[in-house]
Amino acid sequence: MERFDQINKDNLPTHVAIIMDGNGRWAKNKGKNRIFGHKNGVQSVREVTEAAAKLGIQYLTLYAFSTENWNRPRDEINALMSLLVSSLSSETKTLMKNNIRLMAIGDIESLPSNVYAKLNAVIKKTSENNGMNLILALSYSSRWEIVNAAKKLVADVKKGKVSADEINDDLFATYLNTSEIPDPDILIRTSGEFRISNFLLWQIAYSELYFTKTLWPDFRENEFYNTILDYQNRERRFGKTSEQVKS
Ligand code: FPP
């Protein structure tokens, strides 16, 4: 049986988040420069997005560029930004055809103006699509997001819109970039690193974590399906006992 057919479509994660890592090492292993790795990483983005949509996953979040990535060499940043613009241009048709809605989280106003404009144009064009939501984390870091949420909340408290007694987990979450998005059920990180790297720290409180040694440009459709199969074998207890969950 094909891996796709082995997946129980009634027990899919609603939200899959991915830290796409290892493009640089993949390229180095082949004696090429880092940008070559990013270019090949785009093909994995395409395959995994299509596989997720085909399965019926509702939210797929990809960590495409972190706040810390601004510290990379200028030419690498420029190459990543151009790849983003060219991918957005070439993939808009596929997003429309597959009924995928594009969203973004992060400090997107800090992106170069052409990237920001292209991103907003595709977000707008796909906004009526009601299939999978593809969320790109761009110039994103979780601490930035949480601090920003705290600032907005304090402003609302000062204005008298919110009282301090009302503040709880649910209210706080409405101030995050992900207020419209359910928490990830599974977080995948490729490339054999066991770190979260400032990604969705609030939202992954109860997510299943999946680490694979595969470098991102090699992480394709079949390995994505394997990951979902692995997820389906886990017992999610949310702090309860195994017996409580089963009854
Ligand atoms: C991590 O590999 C990857 C990134 C920082 C960027 C991910 C970007 C893409 C896959 C291409 C553009 C994205 C879209 C959504 C079209 P690394 O460079 O940190 O690899 P290393 O750890 O081996 O150096």
CATH code for the domain in which residue 95 is found = 3.40.1180.10
**Residue 45 in contact with ligand 1 by CB distance below 6 A:** yes
Asked if residue 13 is part of any domain, the answer here is yes
For ligand 1, whether the C-beta of 105 sits within 6 Å is no
Q: Report how many domains make up the chain.
A: 1
Residue 158 in domain: no
DSSP E strand boundaries for the chain: 15-19, 59-66, 101-105, 133-140, 186-189, 208-211
The predicted pLDDT at position 1 comes to 76
Calpha distance 96→107 (Å, rounded): 25
> According to the model, what pLDDT value does residue 236 have?
78
* Cα–ligand 1 centroid distance for 74 (angstroms): 15
With respect to residue 206, please indicate whether it lies within any of the assigned structural domains. yes
The residue whose C-alpha atom lies closest to atom 24 belonging to ligand 1 is 24
Contacts of 134 (CB under 8 A, 6+ apart): 49, 60, 62, 95, 100, 101, 102, 103
Q: Looking at residue 106, what is its pLDDT?
A: 98
Structure letter (DSSP) for residue 179: T
35 Cβ contact partners less than 8 Å away, ≥ 6 residues apart: 27, 75, 76, 79
Q: Is 126 a member of any domain?
A: yes
Q: What is the pLDDT of residue 49?
A: 98
Question: Is 21 labeled as catalytic in the residue annotation?
Answer: yes
pLDDT at 237: 85
- Per-residue confidence in pLDDT tens, the chain, 247 aa: 789 999 999 999 999 999 999 999 999 999 999 999 999 999 999 999 999 999 999 999 999 999 999 999 999 999 999 999 999 999 999 999 999 999 999 999 999 999 999 999 999 999 999 999 999 999 999 999 999 999 999 999 999 999 999 999 999 999 999 999 999 999 999 999 999 999 999 999 999 999 999 999 999 999 999 999 999 999 878 889 999 998 8
Q: Is the pTM of this model over 0.85?
A: yes
Domain residue limits at 39? 2-141+182-246
Predicted confidence at residue 235, as pLDDT, reads: 86
Q: Is the dihedral of CA 193, 199, 187, 244 positive or negative?
A: positive
Candidate list 69, 98, 120, 226, residue with the active-site label: 69
Q: Give burial (CB, 10 Å; 0-12/13-18/19+) of 143.
A: exposed
Q: Which of 25, 38, 82 to mutate to test the pocket of ligand 1 (most atoms within 8 A of CB)?
A: 38
CB of residue 15 inside a 6 A radius of ligand 1: no
64 ligand 1 Cβ < 6 A:
yes
29 within a domain of the structure (yes/no): yes
Q: Is residue 156 part of a domain?
A: no
The answer to whether position 218 is within a domain reads yes
Report how far ligand 1's centroid is from the alpha carbon of 69 (Å): 10
CB crowding 171-183: b at 16 or more within 10 Å, else e: eeeebbbbeebeb
Cα 70 to ligand 1 centre (Å) = 13
46 domain residue, yes or no: yes
